[in-house]
Amino acid sequence: MTTTLHFKRGELYSFITGQASTAIARRLQKKFNHASLNLTIEQWSVLYHLWKTDGISQQDLCNATFRDKPSITRLVDNLERLELVKRVPSDKDRRVNHIFLTDYGRSLRDKSMSIAEDTLNEALVGVPADKIETCKQVLQIVYNNLK
Amino acid sequence: MTTTLHFKRGELYSFITGQASTAIARRLQKKFNHASLNLTIEQWSVLYHLWKTDGISQQDLCNATFRDKPSITRLVDNLERLELVKRVPSDKDRRVNHIFLTDYGRSLRDKSMSIAEDTLNEALVGVPADKIETCKQVLQIVYNNLK
DNA sequence: TTTATATAGTTGTATAACTAACAATTGCAT
DNA sequence: ATGCAATTGTTAGTTATACAACTATATAAA
């Protein structure tokens, strides 16, 4: 008897391709569009961290969103074009940009978070709370194992 | 007392962004590169279904991989350029392309599947088998709820 | 048979991701 | 003070995804 896991073929596909999270993201995007929220999920995920802590650096956003620097550069480019955020060069370290929400960016918080909660609740219909908890734990361990 | 779930803010982020599956896909891509397998994860996911059933149509691949038609058109374009698959027009229905593996495409199966299994086993280190089972069930329900 | 509708696949456009290479700035060690 | 390494952010090139519009073919209804 051993605890070594051998994943059976045929069971690994959906884990690797992340079908569940893809489905969640698509549903959320559809709801954003339907609500005339002109936002991609990726842009929303950046705003999400700024709503928690406004004025963090691009590198902070890289760490928080699990993205690399070029991805954040372009996301911030697009968010600036949409007038949702503004780059402000740091006084103390001239390599650093601080990213600040505009009033408009701040204004999208409640509506979009509410839509995100609705989406997750739709996704989890029929799933008992204790199983959700277990699932979250497993995904957290996976993330820690690999990050 | 009600069973209605209200997802707490702060808990939804990693679910929606699919951090765990992103981490798995990145690790797998790194392993492919390191093994000189010149394949993207998305290309691998198409080959995965052809290894199970060779000669299916592009529309079949759309359904199997949960992608839309333009995505499959371009993935097949790239797989053809890599000489991993070949489009063969159907005799019975001239709208349809059947996608067939080349010898080269067939040859990548065992190595890449073995790498994928290794990756998943690394991802799941420290997770008891019964929790993995619960997690798979939850993700399957989520997928069914939204697809 | 003609017309309408559905299906299979392609193309154009926008956004996003990864890699690699790069510029500018900072900080530290001599 | 000088020089080297580390950090922050940008740019270029390739691949992938979503949506909309399109072509060609097939199917079904009138």
Q: What is the pLDDT of residues A32-46, one digit of tens each?
A: 999 999 999 999 999
**What average pLDDT does range A105-117 have in this prediction?**
96
The residue with tokens 């392993």 is B31
Nearest nucleotide to A71 (CA to C1') is C17
**Residue B104 belongs to domain with CATH number:** 1.10.10.10
Helix (H) or strand (E) holding A66: none
Q: What's the pLDDT score for residue A8?
A: 52
CA distance A97 to chain B (A): 24
Note the maximum CA span of chain A. 61
Q: What's the pLDDT score for residue B70?
A: 97
CA distance B63 to chain A (A): 12
**What average pLDDT does range A103-127 have in this prediction?**
95
Q: Is residue B58 part of a domain?
A: yes
Between CA A139 and CA A101 the distance in angstroms is 30
Q: What's the pLDDT score for residue A115?
A: 96
Q: What's the pLDDT score for residue B8?
A: 52
Q: What's the pLDDT score for residue A42?
A: 97
Q: What's the pLDDT score for residue A2?
A: 37
Q: How many CB atoms lie within 10 A of CB A135?
A: 25
What range does the domain containing B135 cover? 23-146
Q: Is residue A49 part of a domain?
A: yes
Q: Is residue A2 part of a domain?
A: no
Question: Which A residues between 83 and 122 have a beta carbon under 7 A from any strand D atom?
Answer: 87, 93, 95-97
What is the identity of the amino acid at B101? L
* Tokens matching residue A127: 């799933």
* Tokens matching residue A87: 């780059």
Between CA A105 and CA B74 the distance in angstroms is 35
What percent of chain A shows pLDDT beyond 70?
93
Q: Is residue A77 part of a domain?
A: yes
Q: What's the pLDDT score for residue B1?
A: 39
Between CA A85 and CA A103 the distance in angstroms is 9
Total of domains in chain B? 1
B29 Cβ nearer than 7 Å to chain C strand: yes
Average pLDDT of chain A to the nearest whole number: 91
What is the identity of the amino acid at A71? S
Between CA A99 and CA A76 the distance in angstroms is 8
Low-confidence ranges of chain B (pLDDT < 70): 1-11
pLDDT tier, A99 (very low <50, low <70, confident <90, very high otherwise): very high
**What average pLDDT does range A8-16 have in this prediction?**
68
* Tokens matching residue A88: 């402000």
> Is the predicted pLDDT of residue A65 greater than 60, yes or no?
yes
Q: What does the DSSP 8-state code read for residue A45?
A: H
pLDDT tier, A85 (very low <50, low <70, confident <90, very high otherwise): very high
What is the identity of the amino acid at B75? L
Helix (H) or strand (E) holding B125: none
Whether residue A117 and residue B5 make contact (CB cut-off 8 A), yes or no, is no
pLDDT tier, A3 (very low <50, low <70, confident <90, very high otherwise): very low
Q: How many CB atoms lie within 10 A of CB A29?
A: 17
Beta-carbon-side half-sphere exposure of residue B49 (alpha carbons within 13 Å): 24
Q: Facing residues of B89 across strands?
A: B97
- From the number of C-beta atoms within 10 Å of its C-beta (0-12, 13-18, 19+), residue A32 rates as buried
Between CA B104 and CA B7 the distance in angstroms is 48
Whether residue B138 and residue A122 make contact (CB cut-off 8 A), yes or no, is no
Q: Is residue B4 part of a domain?
A: no
Radius of gyration of chain A (CA): 18
B39's CB contacts (< 8 A; 6+ apart) are B32, B47, B108, B112
B76 Cβ nearer than 7 Å to chain C strand: yes
Q: Is residue B104 part of a domain?
A: yes
Question: Which A residues between 83 and 112 have a beta carbon under 7 A from any strand C atom?
Answer: 93-95
Closest CA to B51 of B116, B136, B133: B116
**What average pLDDT does range A20-36 have in this prediction?**
94
Interface probe for B, chosen from A48, A145, A147 (most Cβ of B below 10 Å), is: A145
Q: Is residue A83 part of a domain?
A: yes
> Is the predicted pLDDT of residue A6 greater than 90, yes or no?
no
Between CA B132 and CA B144 the distance in angstroms is 18
Identify which of A23, A116, A125 has the shortest CB distance to residue B143: A23
* Tokens matching residue A73: 């550069």
Locate the DSSP E strands across chain B. Answer: 85-89, 97-101
Whether residue A127 and residue B139 make contact (CB cut-off 8 A), yes or no, is no
Q: Is residue B15 part of a domain?
A: no
